[in-house]
Each structure stands twice: as structure tokens, then as C-alpha cells.
Amino acid sequence: MDGSGIRGAETGAQIAEFDLSLTGVRCAGCVSRVEKALRQVPGVVTADINLASKRAHVRAIGADGAALTDAVAGAGYGADLIAPEGTGAGQGADSAPGHDHAAHGAGGENAGWRVVLAAMLSLPLLAPMLGLVPSLPGWLQLTLATPVTFWLGWQFHKGAFRAARTLHGSMDSLVSLGTLAAWGLSVFLWLTAHADHAPHLYFEAAAVVITLLLLGRWLEARAMGRTMEAIQALMALRPRLARLRLPSGDVEVPVAQLRVGDLVVVLPGAAVPVDGTVVEGASDLDESLITGESLPVAKQAGSTVTGGALNGPGTLLVRTGAVGRDTMLARIIAMVEGAQAAKAPIQRLADRVSAVFVPFVLVIALITFAGWVLAGSGAETALINAVSVLVIACPCALGLATPTALMAGTGVAARSGILIKDAGALERAHAATIIVFDKTGTLTEGKPVLTGLTPAPSIDATEALRLAAGLQACSEHPLARAVLDAARAQSLRLPTAQNSRALPGQGMAGMVEGQALRLGHEGLMAALGVDITPLADAAATARQQGHSQSWLAVQAGQGAQWQLLALLSFADEPKPTAAAAIAALKAQGLRCVMLTGDHEAAARAVGDRLGLDEVVARLLPDQKAAAVARLRGSSGTVAMVGDGINDAPALAAADIGFAMATGTQVAMETAGITLMRGDPLLVADSIAISRQTWAKIRQNLFWAFAYNVVGIPLAALGLLNPMIAGAAMAFSSVSVVGNALLLRRWRPRAGAGR
């Protein structure tokens, strides 16, 4: 389908997703009308508009882009289809989503020169009111005010005309009616004035209101650009060219031409153009804008690399694993854009109010005009007060309250390695009361380490470790890797093992330096007749701590009795930040629970070390999901944190899922929030930024409503003139955006102090 991207399937039918850049959409009322028009297109499943970015996201079955743009045009607005990531050859590596266009669409019609010119023409009109100069003659006021009202303010009148064509009202309707009324009244009073009478004209009201609104929109557009910096920074990471290795030599080609399996050379200081695996070379990569990790990450042959990371001092040869929209960077951009385009449930309240707001204000303005006329104040005073009502009531701030906070919050979260899938995930995260963790790979490192080696009496511990490591030098078993890591840490020279072999379900066997060695569980020792009582106390202590155990025995000669050498203890150690993460979550008032398939002793040991509130062990994946469901039913809003395929059912069962990006793709797709690093502190950071973002949304909605609730009655009572009303309306929008931008000052706990 033209301009679409097929991103999924629901109920057996393919869902096409469209993004549109909108023009003329200025308030929540406009949003409501365009959404209604889009939803009436046959095949449209959902249509959501982000007023801040001026973008629409539509999901449809059987509809095409032309039908959607026609529907928007029919509602009196403009729309351009944004080409999705991944269209065209090479999956659109060079294509940029229409974010820049959307971000600067408002700024284009409210460029700085318009504001400056409007101010230069309006200040002379305002100067007599400030007592700086004598009153200007009527013809000069008309000359100065007319270009501001009709030329520089044409965007307002054009928007009002579009709305009127469809028998709707908009913010532009209020501005246009108000300023044209002030200008028209002034022209009438000037033309009908007696020769010896200087009438009070209101040209300055029309010109200054337009100028203030232009200034407000210009400031708003600049501020909105700052809320999109996270997306723009991610887009800037995408290199346009790559150095492709061919049999004939290296050639520079557009990234769009790369295919999976191509070999790409990444020079020092260059950006990695693709996701892939290092084939040759070693270097350090800066992945901070992708994962939030502040320290360079060492890469060598066999390491995976992510497109967009910045290469350090070494040259890498990378085999391409993914290009275009299949890369991690493209998926991150899509997820952040999706979150920023999504509509929070709380926004529905603002939408319902905005749908009837403009007609309501028009009625109030008519009542104001009639009331002042009936009170005997004259048509002039009545009209000015009615104009003030129209100007103060513009509902810009109401429509910007939620999307600006969402964009700022999700943007700063993304820079910190926290990807929020949608606004609903943000809302559920801030309301969480229980955090449920998986153990292995989430709270722990996910790999065993040798936590202790207890030698038998008269046996040297270092010698026992040397022999155990030599026996397992060729094994890929996780416990063998742990022994080898411990031996390397002590820089031990390992002996060569002969006839080394695995004993399925029991351990390892082999010959080392002429001695037969066996390494395995307690049952193997019993079968060999090894007396393990000398180390029984050490074994009991290790079991109480939840440690796994292996026993090392030696047979000095053929037919000789087997002798105990050492007890080796292993544990999956908690991640360095796990305890701090649990403490931070408890400080936020959350209850921390761990669900694991591990045995009871190991689970309890980890739970005690980290200070968890509850530990449930020996659970299968479906039992984890059932446990999460029980917690939801009895205790409130449950968040689940996991990283593996076996965690996917529990992530789906929770109110909100957190997936470690260091885990599986299945877990990431199931979760509402993805943590780009395996750092448990990011969970606490996610809750913190979601709560702060939600607080900003509530603050913005309060102030947006407050401006109108307070301002409209004051204007109707004649306590606000049109200029003050225009300034208040412009300030309301700027203040809402500015309040949202305060979220940019938020800093995560994860990675602090590095």
C-alpha cells in the first residue's frame, strides 16, 4: 500500500500503519475533528493525533494513504503522508521519518522575522497607551495595524475559514473573530467620527494580540523542538555511508545498499552503520546514546555491535546482521516515536472538553456582548469585552498539556536507556504498587561464579584449583567456565588433561599429571567411595546459602583408593546495583517480590542479600504468570521485570512489563518498557520518570483549565482588555510547554557517579 508499513497482524488481517504530517491543526478541538474524520474512513482501526508534533498515527485494514489525506482535507486541514522507515531499496536506511517536518511545521509559519516585523508595526500603536508619544492619527493606526492583522495574521484567518467551511469552530476561529472585530470596529469609529472628535480606536488591540500570539507560537515551536531532541539525536546516529569490503577492495556505498551478510569496515572514530558481529579487530564502542551506558564497551571478534554506536581507536570488520528498520536503532526510534505519538488515557478528558469548547466560548462571547449592551454600556464596550472572551479562551494549552509532557518524559528516558512503548505503559508504571522480579539474569548476573573452594585437610587450595581448572579446560559447561575464570584471576598455569570427558548427569573425568581426577556431585563421590565427611560442615553451610556444589577427588595410582581434594561452591551472584535498586524501589513505596524457577535455598539467599519483601521459588513459566495474576487480584498494580523467553507469560500477565534488552526479543516485545542495559537500577529510574511525567501532565492540565476557568469570567466582566487577554493566552501555551521541559533536568540513578 502506498506509503504504509505492514508492522503486524491482528485477528488474521494485516494492519497497515500510516504516519501523517498535519498542517492547520492548532488546538485540541482541531485534533478532535481530524481524528473523527480519519476514523470515518472505511478500514481505519485507530487514529491518534499528537498536537505537539502535529502528527497523526493511523492503523487501518484495506485503506490507503490517499483516502486518509483526503479525509483530513475534507475536515479543513492539510496532511502529507510520511514515508515509513524501511521502504525502498535497502530498507530505507537513508529515509528519515517526517519528524523534522512535523517538528518545524509550526515554526515555518511563525518564523522569527514575522514576530519581529509584527512587533515593529505594533509598538508604535502601543506607545500612546504607555504615555510615550501622543495619540497617533487614525490613518496611521490603520496603516500600521492592517498588515499585522491581515498579512502576518493571515494564518489565523485561513484556519478559521477552513473550520467554517466544515461548520466547525477552532482556536483560529476565536482569534480571527476577535481581531477582525477589533479592527472592524476601529475602522467604523474612525470613518464615522465627527471632524472635531477623536474617537477611541482599537487598532492596537488587533495588532498586539496577533503579535503576542505569533510570539507565543514561535516560542512554543522552539520549545517543542527541544522536546524532540531525543529523537533527533537518535536519527543523527544513522550514518549515510558505509565502507563495504569486496574481493577487489574496500568501497564506500550508501547504507541503503547493504545486505545481510555483507562485510563492513568500521574505521576509528566512525559510526557503526549496521547491526552485526565483529569478524576481525578489537576496539571500544561508545553506545551511550543507544543504551545510556556512559562507559565505552570493549569489542573483539565474536562481539555483537549495534548500528549508531561510535567506534573508538581500533578498526573493526563487521558482518552485517540487520539493516534498515530491522536494526536496533531503527526499532528504538520507532518505539520512542510511538510513545510520543500515543495518546494518554488522561488526554481523553481534555479531548471531550475541547470538542464542545469553541461553541461554548462563542455562546459566552455573544452573552457577554448582549449583557453589556443591555446594561447600557454601549456597543463599543460590549464588543471589546466579547473580543477579550474570544481571545483569552483559545484552548492551545489544553491540547498541549499532555503530549508535551509525554514527549519530554519519554525523550529523557530514552537518553537514559529506558524505552517506553506507549502512553498507557507510562500511566500504568507510575501507578505500580508491586514490582515482581525474575532472578536469573535480572537480579543476578545469570552465570555462576566460584564463590569458594574449601580444600581437604593437608591439601593446598591453589593446587586444588589448578587441577580442577586443568581438568575442565576444554569444557563449555557454565560451572567449568566459572572455575577457569577463577584460575585465570590468579594467573595459574594450567596442566594439560588427557582423556578428559563428561560424565552425563554426574560431572567430569580425566587424567591430569598422571593422576585420575573426578569432579562432580555428591552421588559421584559416593559411587567412588570417597569420604566427604571432613568437609561436611562446609558443605552444609554452602547449601544453606543456596550455593551449588562440586566435589574434586583424586586417584594417585591404578587401583588406589579415591581421596577427597576439595569442595567447590558456586553461586549466581547478584548484580552490583541490585541491592541499591531494591532499596530505591522500597523508598518509592513499592513492594518487591522475586519469582524464580531456582531451588528454595538459592532463592532465599538472594532474597535475603537484596532485602526483598517476598520470594517464591521452584516456579515454571506458567506458574510465574499465575503468581503475577494472584498478586494483581489481591494487591494492586503489578509490574513484572524479566529477560528471558520463560518470563514472557508473566510479563504479559502483569499490568506493566519491564524487559531487559540484554535478554530475548520475545521478552522485549511483550513488555511495555524496555531497559537497554541489564541494570536493575533502571527499573527504579523508570518508575521515577513515569511518576514525574505523570505529575507534569496533571500540572499542565490544571494550569490549562485554570487559565480558561479564571480568564473567561474576568474577560466577560470587562476586567481584561484584548491585549492582556492575548498575552495571557500566549503565556498559557508557553508555560505549559516550559513546565514539561523541566523534565529534561531529570537524571537517572543508574550509572550515576561513574
Please give the backbone phi and psi of residue 497, each rounded to the nearest 5 degrees, phi first.
-100, 140
> Any long-range contacts for 707-712 (C-beta under 8 Å, 24+ apart)?
707/392, 707/397, 707/732, 708/392, 708/393, 708/395, 708/398, 711/392, 711/393, 712/361, 712/364, 712/389, 712/392, 712/393
CA distances from 450 to 104, 311, 443 (A): 57, 34, 18
Mutual angle of helices 112-126 and 138-146, in 10-degree steps: 170
User: Of 694, 614, 616, which is closest to residue 656 (Cα–Cα)?
Assistant: 694
* Region of residue 308 (phi > 0: left; psi between -120 and 50: alpha; otherwise: beta): left
CA–CA distance, 6 with 566 (Å, rounded to integer)? 60
User: Of 145, 155, 158, which is closest to residue 204 (Cα–Cα)?
Assistant: 145
Residue 96: exposure state from Cβ atoms within 10 A (0-12, 13-18, ≥19): middle
Q: Are 369 and 383 in contact (CB under 8 A)?
A: yes
The torsion angle over the Cα atoms of residues 248, 252, 256 and 262, rounded to 10 degrees, is 40
User: Of 60, 93, 64, 59, which is closest to residue 81 (Cα–Cα)?
Assistant: 64
CA–CA distance, 50 with 120 (Å, rounded to integer)? 34
Residue 378: exposure state from Cβ atoms within 10 A (0-12, 13-18, ≥19): exposed
CA–CA distance, 60 with 45 (Å, rounded to integer)? 5
CA–CA distance, 87 with 93 (Å, rounded to integer)? 9
**Coil, strand, or helix at residue 279?**
strand
Distance of CA 70 to the CA centre of its chain: 31
Q: Are 18 and 35 in contact (CB under 8 A)?
A: no
CA–CA distance, 322 with 281 (Å, rounded to integer)? 20
Query: What residues are paired with 322 via a beta bridge?
Result: 275
User: Of 437, 411, 423, 361, which is closest to residue 624 (Cα–Cα)?
Assistant: 437
Between CA 55 and CA 12, with CA 330 as vertex, the angle to 5 degrees is 75
Question: Cell numbers of 582, please?
Answer: 531494591
Q: State the DSSP code for 85.
A: T
- Alpha-helix residue ranges (DSSP H) falling in 717-751: 722-741
- Verify whether residue 438 is a known catalytic residue: yes
* Region of residue 370 (phi > 0: left; psi between -120 and 50: alpha; otherwise: beta): alpha
Element (H, E) at 390: helix 378-392
Write the DSSP string, 337-363: HHHHHS--TTHHHHHHHHHHHHHHHHH
Maximum pairwise Cα distance, the chain:
133
Q: How much of the chain is in helix, strand and coil states, percent to nearest 5?
A: 50, 20, 30
User: Of 511, 499, 503, 521, which is closest to residue 554 (Cα–Cα)?
Assistant: 511
User: Of 524, 486, 518, 492, which is closest to residue 505 (Cα–Cα)?
Assistant: 524
Q: State the DSSP code for 150.
A: I
**Residue from 19, 262, 438, 685 carrying the catalytic annotation:** 438
Residues present in the chain in total? 754
Mutual angle of helices 378-392 and 171-191, in 10-degree steps: 160
Residues recognised as catalytic: 438
